[in-house]
Structure 1
Amino acid sequence: MRLVAVTACPTGIAHTYMAAESLEQAAKDAGAEIRVETQGSAGSAPLSAADIQAADAVIFAADVGVQDRERFAGKPLVEAGVKQAINDAAALLDRARTAAAGRPAEPGDAPAAEPAAGPERTGAVEQAGAVESGAGPAARLRQWLMTGVSYLIPFVAAGGLLIALSYALGGYRISDAPDVTEHFDPASLTSWAALTNQIGTGAFEFLVPVLAGFIAYAMADRPAIAPGFVGGYAAVTVGAGFLGGLVAGLLAGAVVAGLRRVRVPRAVAGIMPVVVLPLVGSLVVGTVMFVLIGKPIAAVMTGLTDWLGSLSGANAALLGGLLGAMIAFDMGGPVNKVAYTFAVGGLSIGNQTSLEIMAAVMAAGMVPPLALALAAALRGRLFTPAERNAGRTGWLLGASFITEGAIPFAASDPLRVIPSIVVGSATTGALSMAFGATLRAPHGGLFVLPLAGNALPYLLAIAAGVVVAAGAVLVAKRIGGGTEPDIPAPTTTAATA
């Protein structure tokens, strides 16, 4: 059997490549041939037309919209999240074999895409970035939102790191420096600090429009991008912020998807995607955001900002502990992404507590791989040879804020590993918030430590969580009689951009 597959996760760092490796190994074990396209942050080597044409079935293991999915039109298609591909790739291959044989698909199998009719299809959306109409409402909503977040992260990373660098070079008053177009001295460190601050601030101004634009893109393809960006701009203008961007993106996608269902004469169909849909969609979304719902959302956003600003002491620590536990619970899965998205969204607010939340979430995300690497190094006989090998890479993965480095351990012993790392990450999140550590960078792990506020207490919070989680794992394994089993645990390797 010949298969092709596409893997993609919101950050495009770890799950994307782990899912690809798992599918390739499962295909090798089953005697099947598979070609996998990884749509990750390191770029993508697209599947050739010949590979797609020769494939008996297609597998999409993605938590975001698959790019250029119209290439697979007419092929038997199975769709699942990246976690399912990592944990049970063999089951996906079985579903693909069933779909290729023409038997009725199992629940959750995505229907095959229909060939496009004319220059613009008027039925259900199936173009690049769209989510399968056969998926459940919750799954589709999650994919739409995660697509927006995946395109948002590079802007947050670039802007956040540049702003943090500007503070490191010029102090926290550098944001008050005059515009560099009016005064810039190449020999002055302050001028360079002001320049990096203003470039980073410019990148941050795109956050909400990019979020809204690509949520809309995931829902209704390219014609929805302009209405989404317009809605995002309106959200920023009225003060609706990150929450307004989410609403604007969903609104734009829904409006354009609805307009695409309107049947028009063939003479008009050619200009629909490039003129009519962006024009009418932008007008409708802009009007609704500016006139009807923008201000109420802004009021909610103001309340959220005030609440975050009021958090201190025990309340802040409790929030940090909760977010830390969420980050560790499924190691890059949906619960993890909710906590991470909440932290990234707070960066657009920019107050002290929002920066503390980002620091707490990143610190907590580093704990699971580091803790398990430490535990495997201290008591290797309690772990399988494969887990000990995973522990060696876990040091780098944890230091890089790739929580998925803990998956090989959790996959083989979830009942003892997951509660242990949840406790450790919750400890780190609570301590980080209690210490008042701050961070503008949304990724980078220990490599952005010089840009953190209260860096030494922040490092102590991470160390404390690692020790707690490692100790809990070792105690749990000793109580449960953990020894080297005969069957080695599965190994995975995460690739980074």
Structure 2
Amino acid sequence: AAPAGADDAHLTLLSALARRLMSTGFTDALRAATDAEAAAALIRGEETPTGGTGAEGEAAPEGAQGAAEGAEAAAGGAGAASGDRPFRIVAVTSCPTGIAHTYMAAESLENAGREAGVEIVVETQGSAGFTRLDPAVIAAADGVILAHDVPVRDKHRFAGKPTVDTGVKAAVSRPAALIAEVRDKAARGETTGTASAATPVERAGTDGEGYGTRLRRWLMSGVSYMVPFVAAGGLLIALGFAIGGYEINEAPSVMDHFVWTQAGSWGALLFQTGGVAFGFLVPVLAGYIAYGMADRPGLVPGFVGGAISLTINAGFLGGLAAGLIAGGVVLAIQKVNIPAALRGIMPVVVIPLISSAVVGFLMFVVIGKPIAEAQKGMTDWLGGLTGTNAVLLGALLGLMMCFDLGGPVNKVAYTFATAGIAVADPGDSAMKIMAAVMAAGMVPPLAMALATTVRGRLFNRAERENGKAAWVLGASFISEGAIPFAAADPLRVIPASMAGGAVTGALSMAFGATLRAPHGGIFVVPLIGNPLLYLVAIAAGVGVTTALVIVLKGLRRTTEPIAPAPDAHTAPTPAGSTGAGKETVAAQPL
């Protein structure tokens, strides 16, 4: 569906397609398409499907244009009396990647709003950018729905209105319940505080959400901003070693000595640039943890605390503590009643000054030294891992990487690995852990791709198509490529994936493979220590998972009764299938 030469259009296309996939009319028409041209015409919008959950079967407006059209519709009735117009809702959706769930949630809310007779306008804060809701539309709204897994940008715009604050998946799975909830809040007169009286965190989360959930959100906010620095810095340093050799860390500054025709000079340039990027890791982590807690006022004390953590050698653990302390201090300051004359200078002078001073005192004098000792102890423990201990740690990390395929447990293992290499000179054990984590994360999608290739009859047509994409996703270290298979058959796919991941993680540690870059998959293998044995470890895990999946699915097929004849909702029996081998392939969600 992408036009020729429009290489930057994929995010826009994905977001538009994600919205349209929420319409049953569109998905039914797409399934009924008999050739590629018909399917492409539907995706491009050249053919309009009938039926479904859209507005009388018509394709819903997409992206910023859809938001603008909805805004105009809502603004057009702003002057009407409340009894003469429907209930009005403004919503914001955003997910960590900003591609699929962001737009699926928006479409789901719009469809549910039409069914409930509610005017709803959605602002999608996705990777392709976003168009802010018209302030007049927000002012005329009777309620607000915030469906997000990352902080909502400019959240203060919605202060003072009945608000439902929840995760993005809730908007996909139960939009009608969210609409009913915000209407109930409006009927009871419940509103959020004013923009100056309540902080974003105090307005975040559903009612009754525990601090454990909020703590995870704050920490993941910091980690999500830190990981690009780890990726850029790690890859630059790894390339520097590859070009200039393993003594490149002793090269003089490229400002003093740089020869255009010498590979060593280019290697030193890459290595030193990567080192500078790594210098931002802990301050960015701390700054954006504080940002997740207290919005923009938390950035200054967070960055200051992170920089102090580097100064006192408290490292990654110090950054975590500094971010949480900075956010907490800002929240405490914002609860103090300030005279109206001083409120204008609070965010630019008073809060940064007081919070930075408090964070500096606590980090330098009170808790900095204990955290630095804990960081040193963890580093020494990692450095002392050898033999059986290292293999067992690799197996454990492999199990965690494959347990939920990009979920919280997977992220804990990945964050643990990236924390070890997020220093200018990581130890050998830390780089072995990073290698084991990446290898194990590649196993599930590669194994699913291989299984659909060698025993395609055990998978339906949609899974076989997903298997083709899983080759690339697995090779790129995107564990989420196995999610469609795990969602369809979790009791077989997840245990098999965990077994293969544990084998790969243990073998990678046993082989002593090392990795300085936190991402890249098969494309950074030349930069890996012991690359051939590393590939052997991945191949072994893929083989174990593939074999287990095939065996488990085969056992299921032999114990199931013969499938009934196809009906209107099932695909025809594959040609050539007879007896117990006969199967029907149910229509699968796109």
> SS at 1:271's partner residue?
helix
Taking the TM superposition and a 5 Å limit, the aligned residue runs for 1:300-315 are 300-315=374-389
Match of 2:284 in 1: 210
Residue 239 and residue 368 in structure 1: after superposition, are their counterparts in 2 closer, same or farther (change >3 A)?
same
| Counterpart Cα distance in 2 of 1:283 and 1:391 | 55
Which position in structure 1 is the counterpart of 2:154?
68
Q: Does residue 1:384 correspond to 2:460, yes or no?
A: yes
In structure 1, what is the Cα distance between the partners aligned to 2:191 and 2:468?
42
Identity %: 53
Distance in 2 separating the partners of 1:485 and 1:52: 50
Partner of residue 236 from structure 2, selected from 162, 165, 168 = 162
Letter matched to residue 587 of structure 2: P
Cα contact 2:102–2:126 (8 A) shared by 1:
no
In 1, Cα distance between equivalents of 2:125 and 2:248: 41
> 2:108 aligned with 1:6, yes or no?
no
| Alignment-derived partner of residue 440 in structure 1 | 516
Residue of structure 2 aligned with 1:354, choices 426, 430, 435: 430
User: Deviations for 1:185-213, whole angstroms, at most 9, x for unmatched residues?
Assistant: 12211111111111100111111111001
Shift in CA distance, 420/78, structure 1 to aligned 2, threshold 3 Å: farther
1:393 paired residue among 458, 469, 486: 469
Distance of 1:418 and 1:81 partners within structure 2: 24
- TM superposition shift of 1:167: 0.2
Larger radius of gyration: 2
Matched residue, 1:494: none
Residues 392-414 of structure 1: CA distance to partner in whole angstroms, max 9, x if unpaired? 21111111211111111111111
Q: Deviation string for 1:323-374 (max 9, x for gaps)? A: 1111111111111111111111111241111111111111111111111111
Indicate whether 1:46 and 2:46 are aligned.
no
Report the alpha carbon displacement of residue 430 of structure 1 after superposing the two structures with TM.
1.2
State the TM-score, normalized to the length of structure 1: 0.87
Counterpart in 2 of 1:108?
A: none
2: CA distance between counterparts of 1:381 and 1:57? 50
Q: Distance in 2 between matches of 1:201 and 1:18?
A: 34
Match for residue 126 of structure 1 among 200, 204, 227: 200
Contact 1:318–1:430 (Cα < 8 Å) also in 2: yes
- Indicate yes or no: 2:308 matched with 1:229: no
Residues 50, 223 of structure 1: alpha-carbon distance in 2 compared, 3 angstrom cutoff = closer
What letter corresponds to residue 488 of structure 1 in structure 2? Answer: A
Q: 2:589 aligns with which of 482, 490, 495?
A: 490
- Structure 1 gap segments, 5+ residues each: 106-110, 492-497
Whole-angstrom CA distance in 2 between matches of 1:366 and 1:90: 29
Q: Distance in 2 between matches of 1:71 and 1:390?
A: 41
- Range with bigger deviation, 441-450 or 284-293: 441-450
490, 494, 500: which is aligned to 1:424? 500
User: Is the 1:8–1:63 Cα contact (8 Å) retained in structure 2?
Assistant: yes
Q: Secondary structure in 2 aligned to 1:102?
A: helix
Contact map agreement 1:320 1:433 (CA 8 A) in 2:
yes
C-alpha change, 1:447 and 1:2, in structure 2 (3 Å) is farther
The size of the alignment, in residue pairs, is 469
47-56 vs 425-434, which moves further: 47-56
Q: CA RMSD in A?
A: 2.6
| Corresponding residue of 2:42 | none
**2: CA distance between counterparts of 1:239 and 1:67?**
33
Q: Which fold has the larger relative contact order, with Cα–Cα distance below 8 Å and residues 6 or more apart in sequence? A: 1
The separation in 1 between residues aligned to 2:328 and 2:157, in whole angstroms, is 24
| Distance of 1:52 and 1:342 partners within structure 2 | 44
Q: The residue matched to 2:367 in structure 1 has which SS? A: helix
- Is the CA contact 1:437–1:457 (under 8 Å) kept in the aligned structure 2? yes
Q: Look up the equivalent residue of 1:37 and give its one-letter code.
A: T
- After superposition, where does 1:33-432 map in structure 2 within 5 Å? 35=122, 37-40=124-127, 43-49=128-134, 53=138, 59-74=145-160, 76-81=162-167, 84=169, 89-91=172-174, 93-102=175-184, 113-116=192-195, 121=196, 123-126=197-200, 131-132=204-205, 134=207, 135-349=209-423, 350-432=426-508
Secondary structure at 2:99 match in 1: helix
Q: State the alpha-carbon separation in 1 of the partners of residues 223 and 198 from structure 2.
A: 24
- Amino acid paired to 2:149: D
**1:281 to 1:166, Cα distance in 2 relative to 1, 3 A:** same
Residue from 450, 454, 460 that aligns with 2:536:
460
Change (3 A) 1:25 1:353: same
Partners of 2:94 and 2:263 lie apart in 1 by 44
Structure 1 counterpart of 2:589, one-letter code = P
- The separation in 1 between residues aligned to 2:267 and 2:529, in whole angstroms, is 17
Determine the C-alpha separation between the residues in 2 that align with 1:231 and 1:466: 43
The amino acid across from 1:421 in the alignment is S
Task: Return the alpha-carbon distance in structure 2 between the equivalents of residues 182 and 229 of structure 1.
Answer: 30
Counterpart Cα distance in 1 of 2:587 and 2:123? 26
Tell me how far 1:161 sits from its aligned partner.
0.6
TM normalised by structure 2 equals: 0.74
**CA positional deviation for 1:136:** 1.8
More deviation in 148-157 or 440-449? 440-449
From the superposition, tell whether residues 24 and 282 of structure 1 become closer, same or farther in structure 2 (CA, over 3 Å).
Answer: closer
Rate the CA distance shift 1:21–1:466 in 2: closer, same or farther, 3 A: farther
Moved more, 389-398 or 241-250: 389-398
Change (3 A) 1:225 1:192: same
Alignment-mate amino acid for residue 129 of structure 2: S
Q: Deviations over 1:61-97 (max 9, x none)?
A: 4433222222344555444445x45xx8222x13222
**1: CA distance, partners of 2:318 / 2:481:** 34
For the Cα contact (< 8 Å) 2:500–2:542, is it kept in 1?
yes
- Quick check: 2:165–2:206 contact (8 Å CA) kept in 1? no
Distance 1:36 1:266 in 2: 32
What is the rounded CA distance, in whole Å, between the counterparts of 1:399 and 1:52 in structure 2?
A: 46
1:376: how far off? 1.5
Assess, with a 3 A threshold, how the Cα gap between structure 1 residues 317 and 203 changes in structure 2: closer, same or farther. Answer: same
- How far the C-alpha of 1:48 sits from its partner, in A, is 3.5
Contact 2:397 2:437 survives alignment (8 Å): yes
Give a deviation string over 1:405-456, Cα, whole Å, max 9, x none.
Answer: 1111111111111111111111111111111111111122112222212111
Q: 1:476 aligns with which of 526, 548, 552?
A: 552
Equivalent residue of 1:361, what SS? helix
Which SS does the other structure have where 1:146 is aligned?
Answer: helix
Cα displacement (A) at 1:236: 0.9
Alignment correspondent of 2:526: 450
**1:409 and 1:56 mapped to 2: Cα distance?**
41
1:17 partnered with 2:99:
yes
